[in-house]
Structure 1
Amino acid sequence: MARFSVKPLRWEPYLPPVDVAEATDAQLAAMQVTPSGIKVSPYVRTLAHDPQSYIARTQLYNYVMYAKDGLAQHDRELVALVTSLINGCVYCASVHARKYISLTDRDDIVRELYVHGVGGAFDVRIKALIDFCYHLAVSPVKTDGRASETLKNQGFSCSEIVDVVKIVAIFSMANRLMHTLGHARSMQDRA
């Protein structure tokens, strides 16, 4: 099993992914929804076994993560990273750590998260965001108005807080899909 890392990891499915050469028209159409459009990953090909749910999941993901308004993109990536760390999804944490760093040049925050976790030393704004993500990911029913008030006090608008909630929710689901359908490996590990 891979450890948390900023380095790229590979994800290996437990079920055979859809073979693109043998995919149905519905599966091929579903796989076109990917945001990168560069290649169809084993994760996408595994989810494509159920093309309708894959399309719905991907459209929701794209809307939540790439909305033009609301929470800044770098904050979206930090929320995805923190949620993935909390849920133990090393693959997603790696992907979103790299995206966060590329948007902010703040590898110090990522390093602090990887070394000290959510209890690390962060500035007040980032700490408020991390704490909110932590409480939502660990026990959403125990989250109360005080948590969102802390974010408001750090300049987050109500719509940005709703974005944080949506990102924590979708990553809690996505992390669980990744865990149950496969596992992450270091790029150097042999299969």
Structure 2
Amino acid sequence: MSKPMRNFPVPDHEELPEDLRERIEDETEQTGFTPNVFSAFGYKPSHFRAFFAYHDALVEETTLEREEIEMIVVTVSGVNDCLYCVVAHGALVRIYAEAPQLADQLATNHRSADLSPNHQEMLDFAVKLTESPETVTRGDLAQLRNVGFSEEEIWDIASVVAFYNLSNRMATVADLRPNKEFYELGR
């Protein structure tokens, strides 16, 4: 088995604080394996707690569909060349969207994917916010409203984009490696 991350030490699960061990055990039980992001973020327990608390809020307290969240993650991660997130969240796109080819399309060029107009606009916005945030205007928000997104959904789209830009950069710096199981999920 390869190391979860290559550029920093990975703590032994037994040495982690109890709340982190419990969270990792719960995740392992749900997925059947321990996603490497949990092992990696154990390196800094305070960051682990904050990272996963915000992640959980983004996926649990939203009006976005889970497949929409994962579509954003894969698109942003593709733009950022984040191998871990493209592979891990690509598996989740395949599962939640029930579309085995969609993740690969989004990771390489979301504009070539078979998307609804509102999802195309959502992902265009996600890419713009990732690549050139200084160019985002009220007009971009109006365009999202014009294709049917609510104020809360627009906030949530931007929050997912921002969070995964952070996540992608941490995964890159850590050289976080995808679990082999992710490559096979949803295929």
Tell me which interval the TM-score lies in, with the shorter structure as reference length.
0.7 to 0.9
- 2:73/2:160 contact within 8 Å kept: yes
Q: TM-score, normalised by structure 2?
A: 0.81
Query: Is 1:119 matched up with 2:106?
Result: no
Q: 2:135 aligns with which of 130, 142, 149?
A: 142
* 2:84 aligned partner: 91
Q: Is the 8 A contact 1:33 1:58 kept in 2?
A: no
Check 1:148–1:47 CA distance in 2 against 1; reply closer, same or farther (3 A cut). same
Identity of matched residues, %: 18
Which structure features the higher share of strand residues?
A: 1
1:61 corresponds to which letter in structure 2? Answer: H
Contact 1:12 1:183 in 2 (8 A): yes
Partner residue, 1:50: 44
Quick check: which one's helix share is greater?
2
- CA 1:119–1:11 in 2, change beyond 3 Å: closer, same or farther? farther
The answer to whether the 8 A contact 1:81-1:92 is kept is yes
Contiguous gaps of at least 5 residues in structure 2:
181-187
Give the Å deviation of 1:91.
Answer: 1.6
> How far did 1:168 drift?
0.4
**Change in 2 beyond 3 A, CA 1:31/1:107:** same
1:183 deviation in Å?
Answer: 4.0
Instruction: Report how far residue 127 of structure 1 moved.
Output: 1.3
Question: How far has the Cα of 1:93 moved from its partner?
Answer: 1.3
Segments of structure 1 that go 5 or more residues without pairing to the other structure are: 1-8
CA distance in 1, matches of 2:89, 2:179: 16
TM-score normalised per structure 1: 0.79
Which residue is 1:66 aligned to?
60
**What value does the CA root-mean-square deviation take over the aligned residues?**
2.6
Q: CA deviation at 1:152?
A: 1.1
Return the match for 2:18 from 22, 28, 37.
28
Note closer, same or farther for the CA distance 1:71–1:43 as it changes in structure 2 (3 Å cut): closer
Deviation digits for residues 80-109 of structure 1 (CA, Å, limit 9, x no counterpart): 111111111122112222212212223343
Residue 112 of structure 1, CA deviation: 2.9
Partner in structure 2 of residue 105 of structure 1:
98
Alignment of 1:111-190 (within 5 A): 111-115=104-108, 117-121=109-113, 122-184=115-177, 187=180
How many pairs align?
Answer: 175
